[in-house]
Amino acid sequence: FDQLDGHIWMNGEFVPWKDAKVHVLTHGLHYASAVFEGERAYGGEIFKLTEHTERLHESADILGFKIPYSVGEIDAACMELLHKQGFADAYVRPIAWRGSEMMGVSAQKNRINLAIAIWQWPSYFDPEQRMKGIRLDLAAYRRPDPRTAPSKSKAAGLYMICTLSKHAAEAKGYADALMLDWRGRVAEATGANVFFVKDGVIHTPTPDCFLDGITRRTVIELAGKRGYEVVERTIMPEEMEGFEQCFLTGTAAEVTPVSEVGPYSFEVGDITRTLMDDYTATVYPARAAAAE
Ligand code: PMP
């Protein structure tokens, strides 16, 4: 992935893609002092750009560092890079990290770096599988207690257990894994939030130890406009037996139907399909404007 063409925005400059490098003694690499965002551009506009950039700032605040660019400057850099890369539909990845000036757990004076990369990433899951509903394993790792890790930050370190869980699931032929939280409640997938449907009502876990995703909030709003009832509550894994539909939401995953979670199976039903269509209509600026 480091050999693509085009440019990466790095600390205020456009650097050729292949030259956007960091030193091996980067604090972010050794001690996970890094936070990032995942955004998507549709038809030349980045969906909820400022909300994502604000979350990037908050994620850094939670990790105790300040990104040396304002929200407005980062928004402008993302848009400038999108145009420079020449994509209408693309994935946007800003990342901020502590640099390599000092080595050791404490690195109070290390420079805070910011980079933005944009590439084409049409579908997070296999497109054919996605329409039939993807299969999820139940992860062995659990989302940590907020007293154990800064769970409200989109921090690189929190993805260690996500990669482990996703790799374990893939080794067994699953597309992804559903993670429980430290109390044994249903939490989320490794890079997306989860929803269930039963008797026309939508149920989703209360986001008290994982990201309250921007897509999650968008889909709750879209469900409201359709008149669907959405209940945010504690969901125990055994309850999946009684749910009829299941889907994931996330910037990369968008709205993705789920057909299986471990021993539990679901249909790709009407509510899931309606929300998939409504989400697509919302993210494309031209289509959203036409619908107003
Ligand atoms: N949870 C995790 C662990 C994620 O990585 C993501 C993707 N950022 C989400 C949830 C969904 O967040 P969003 O809808 O803001 O992309």
Domain with residue 161: its CATH number is: 3.20.10.10
**C-alpha pair distances (Å), 215 with each of 136, 202, 212, 279:** 20, 15, 9, 9
218 lines ligand 1 (CB under 6 A): no
Ligand 1 atom, smallest distance to 215 CA:
14
193 lines ligand 1 (CB under 6 A): yes
Give a yes or no: residue 40 inside a domain.
Answer: yes
Overall domain count for the chain? 2
Question: Could you tell me the pTM of the whole model?
Answer: 0.96
Q: Are residues 264 and 136 in the same domain?
A: yes
> Which among 76, 100, 119 is the end of a domain?
119
Q: Are residues 47 and 136 in the same domain?
A: no
SS3 at position 271: helix
Q: Are residues 133 and 232 in the same domain?
A: yes
Three-state SS sequence of 20-79: CCCCCCCHHHHHCCEEECCEEEECCEECCHHHHHHHHHHHHHHCCCCCCCCHHHHHHHHH
Interface ipTM: 0.99
Q: Are residues 141 and 281 in the same domain?
A: yes
- Per-residue tens of pLDDT for the chain, all 292 residues: 999 999 999 999 999 999 999 999 999 999 999 999 999 999 999 999 999 999 999 999 999 999 999 999 999 999 999 999 999 999 999 999 999 999 999 999 999 999 999 999 888 888 888 889 999 999 999 999 999 999 999 999 999 999 999 999 999 999 999 999 999 999 999 999 999 999 999 999 999 999 999 999 999 999 999 999 999 999 999 999 999 999 999 999 999 999 999 999 999 999 999 999 999 999 997 766 666 6
Choose the catalytic residue: 48, 152, 154, 166: 154
User: Can you give the residue range of the structural domain that contains 249?
Assistant: 127-286
Give a yes or no: residue 291 inside a domain.
Answer: no
**C-alpha pair distances (Å), 206 with each of 22, 56, 129, 168, 212:** 38, 22, 28, 26, 8
Give a yes or no: residue 91 inside a domain.
Answer: yes
Give a yes or no: residue 2 inside a domain.
Answer: no
Task: Centre a 10 Å sphere on the Cβ of residue 198 and count the other Cβ atoms it contains.
Answer: 13
> Which among 82, 100, 119 is the end of a domain?
119
Best of 125, 178, 211, 248 for a ligand 1 pocket test (most atoms within 8 Å of beta carbon): 211
